[in-house]
Amino acid sequence: KAGVTQTPRYLIKTRGQQVTLSCSPISGHRSVSWYQQTPGQGLQFLFEYFSETQRNKGNFPGRFSGRQFSNSRSEMNVSTLELGDSALYLCASSSTPDRAGELFFGEGSRLTVL
Amino acid sequence: AQSVTQLDSQVPVFEEAPVELRCNYSSSVSVYLFWYVQYPNQGLQLLLKYLSGSTLVKGINGFEAEFNKSQTSFHLRKPSVHISDTAEYFCAVTAPEYGNKLVFGAGTILRVKS
Quote the pLDDT of residue A58.
93
Task: Give the pLDDT confidence of B5-35 residue by residue, as tens digits.
Answer: 999 999 999 999 999 999 999 988 888 999 9
E-strand ranges in chain B read 3-6, 10-14, 19-21, 23-26, 32-38, 44-50, 56-58, 64-68, 73-78, 87-94, 103-104, 108-113
pLDDT of amino acid B62? 96
For A1-114, strand residue ranges (E) read 5-7, 10-13, 19-24, 31-38, 42-50, 53-57, 64-68, 74-78, 87-94, 104-105, 109-113
Q: Is A109 on the interface with B (CB under 8 A)?
A: no
Residue of B100, B101, B104 to mutate when probing chain A, most A C-beta within 10 A: B100
Interface check B107 vs A, CB under 8 A: yes
pLDDT category of residue A63 using cuts at 50, 70 and 90: very high
Q: What is the pLDDT along chain B (114 residues), one digit of tens a residue?
A: 889 999 999 999 999 999 999 999 998 888 899 999 999 888 999 999 998 889 999 999 999 999 999 999 999 999 999 999 999 999 999 987 777 789 999 999 999 999
What pLDDT band is residue A24 in, cutting at 50, 70 and 90?
Answer: very high
Query: Residue A102: which of B46, B96, B107 has the nearest Cβ?
Result: B46
Question: Does A97 reach chain B within 8 Å, measured CB to CB?
Answer: yes
> Closest residue of A to B95, CA-based?
A100
